[in-house]
Amino acid sequence: MTVADDIRAKGMRMTVQRRLVLDALRRARHHITAEEIARSIRASYPQIDPSTVYRNLEALERLGYVTHTHLDDRVTRWRRADSPQHGHLVCRRCGSEEEISMSVLAPLAKRLKGEHGFSADLAHSAVVGLCRECAG
């Protein structure tokens, strides 16, 4: 079943705008912000409103097609749900970002599950701290 069919099967429509948001996410190598998605779409389709992008991201997240993460600012970053999951290390001094394998985070997730019954989503928020250079 295609994405479009699945969306329709859930009583929703596959509109041009929805497809453009999906495409923008498909093109992105990493997480991108709603504003970046809107900007990249509006480069070719200037009439498309940022609020439409927000509404579509929310809808697509409900359907399980996209997810979001938080780095160390107030901005939400989006990615396709089927792109490879990974953690983030963000330096609070220089702002550098490093992606890390989920396997590094897995032992903590396991422990939180065992000791607290908590199913942690360790890809959801970046780990903040000081990178090698800034820690000196």
Q: Is 41 in the site for its own copies (CB under 8 A)?
A: no
* CA–CA dist 29, 92 (Å, integer): 23
Closest to its own copies by CB, 26 or 128: 128
* 54 sits near DNA (criterion: CB under 7 A): yes
Q: Is 16 in the site for DNA (CB under 7 A)?
A: yes
Nearer to its own copies, 4 or 112 (CB): 112
Cβ atoms 54, 96 nearer than 8 A: no
In whole angstroms, give the CA distance from residue 52 to residue 134. Answer: 40
User: Is residue 109 near DNA by the rule CB under 7 A?
Assistant: no
DSSP tag of 93: T
- Which of 8-16, 24-32, 98-106, 126-134 is the region at the interface with DNA (rule: CB under 7 A)? 8-16
Angle (CA) 12 15 16, round 5°: 165
